[in-house]
Structure 1
Amino acid sequence: MSPLVQGLVTILIGVGGCVGYFYLSNLVLDRVIFPARGPDPGRNISRANAVRPWLFLFPAMAALGLYLVYPVVGSFWRSLFDRDGDEFIGAGNYASLAADETFRTAVFNNLLWVLVVPAAATFIGLVSAQLTDRLRWGNLAKSMIFMPMAISFVGASLIWKFVYANEADIGLINAIRAALGADNPVDVLQIPFWNNFFLMMVLIWIQTGFAMVILSAALRGIPEETVEAAIIDGANPFQIFFRIKVPQIMGTIVVVWTTITILVLKVFDIVYTMTGGNFGTQILPSYMMGYMFRDDGRATAVAFVIMVLVLPVMVWNIRQARKELR
């Protein structure tokens, strides 16, 4: 069977299966389980209407249970066994992680990423959105700022690896240093602690365009009356921006910040491509990949730690979204 025919058959089976499920489930609900007849048909109709939403939710809940809940529970259970999966060791893998200096370094670096990248990308994106909206050629500027979003993390990492190259003929940083009179080139990716910030620049460069587009739309939704009133009251441009506009789009800023935060906790490609986790740049996802094919128990323990770190951010984001809807 050709790929085209296979795709069409899959679509027909999927769509037909969904339509058939909803039609038959409603038919059974209305005619067999709670038929609109008998001594109290109104009560049966009310019961059927109470159950009907769950019929529509069931496929999504089943898929989430199969592809989300089951893997989470399975991963946690697997993290309680040794590297071969034969011997139950309880919290042994987690105790080994806590005693591992490399793991502690990875956690510290992850915290640095979480503190720096979302704040920097959101702030630069917010400023870019404000400035480009005031330019005649703002759409062109937005396109150029947003362009890195179309580049994969690996591709962006290779681009910045050339920027950081320790040769003055290739690396931009060393070319600038050579122009200023420095004799010896330096490999910034091997400078302890500070090399983490050079890696963060790659993700900030990529995510600034995302933040700019979302925040630009939010800024355009601010009522002009509030801005005009502030101008009449004598507010300067900085006061208008930080005291009038920013508070009105704070909900959007929070959503952008949390979205980038969740992405940061899962980033792997940049570190793996540029340093491989060496020179003190290890983060949790790259640390997990180091054990993936030689110690499955410890790797799943790290994966569960990452999930626990992401969970509070997601819960807080959901609560903020609910507040916006109220």
Structure 2
Amino acid sequence: MNAFEYASPTSVEQAVRALAGAESSEGLSGGTDLLCRLKDSVSSPSRVVYLKAIADEGFRGVFAEGDGLAIGAGTSLAALLADEAIAAKYPALKQAARSVATPQIRNMATVGGNLLQRPRCWYYRSGFGLLGGRRDGDTARLVRELEGEYAPYNINLVGLPADGHLVRLGDNRYHAIFMTDGDALYVNPSSLAPALIALGATAEIVGPDGSRTVPIADLYRIPSSEGERELTVATDEVLTRVLLPPPKGKNAFYEIRQKQAHDWPLVLASVCLEMDGDTVRQASILLGAVAPVPYRAEAAEAALAGKKLDRSTAEAAGQAATTGAKPLSKNGYKVPLVKTAVKRALLRAAGDEYWTAMEA
């Protein structure tokens, strides 16, 4: 990796000054994402600012905030899992945190780091940018670079036209199935974001110009050109807290992956249901690992409104959640997984985990 300056501030104010005072900078918390990017030269900041030394009150831990909760961005996922208030009031968030990686990684990874990690797209991680391809016509060089090292991924660039898109023409099995008309075809990597958006959470961000509060969904955007970040949090800003409103009704999370051991999700769904007795008054249904941003399944939300939640209506909502899917050449399998993930997240919220008996 390239040489860089290192700063270890003890307050958010010092951290912001350190981040803003360099030509390019990155914040380091658990390091489960940044260290990999540094080693692969995907990110080459002139200064790395260590955020785990910040001792400001509220930056780490879970606290009552009115009738809701405040979670410090420096809180580890392991600490989040151990919090009784999270388990009692926001089971979707606990289920999402439990799905992340391994116990060892959850001990290091933080809430802020999970929300602001960069895409895991192998084209981006191989230096081809967020938009997944170069358009300079240098096909021969690209083939030489990828040949051998990426052979296990079946990336085939032979005959790639000058205006070709690596993701569309290559191995896109883990890429987006929604919002695929543009060039940004990676998937948002955060497991916590869909759950927090469904729960109506907001984020507090501090930068050189002061603090601001935004909905969790507004942390993300789809870049329109290479060099534009997919995060709205600037490199000289620090995400300090996540604020959860009082819980509304029932909430749950469900993830589908290839194996039960450490793996990235293929599809995940998080739901929050406001109920009138057994009837769904209003639903929030968010999908992850299917689009460049956490994806709201509006058709599924509409399909549930005014309905009694049971297996039949959950099945219909799952089917509705696939509305608008435009899979790429190798990831059409994700479409039925969306249906299953939404159906099971809804039934988990209702206390009907029928599949556990099937798996026993």
Shorter-chain TM-score tier: under 0.3
The structure with higher relative contact order (CA 8 Å, sep 6+) is: 1
After TM superposition, the score normalised by the length of structure 2 is 0.19
The structure carrying a bigger strand percent of its residues is 2
The structure carrying a bigger helix percent of its residues is 1
Bigger radius of gyration: 1
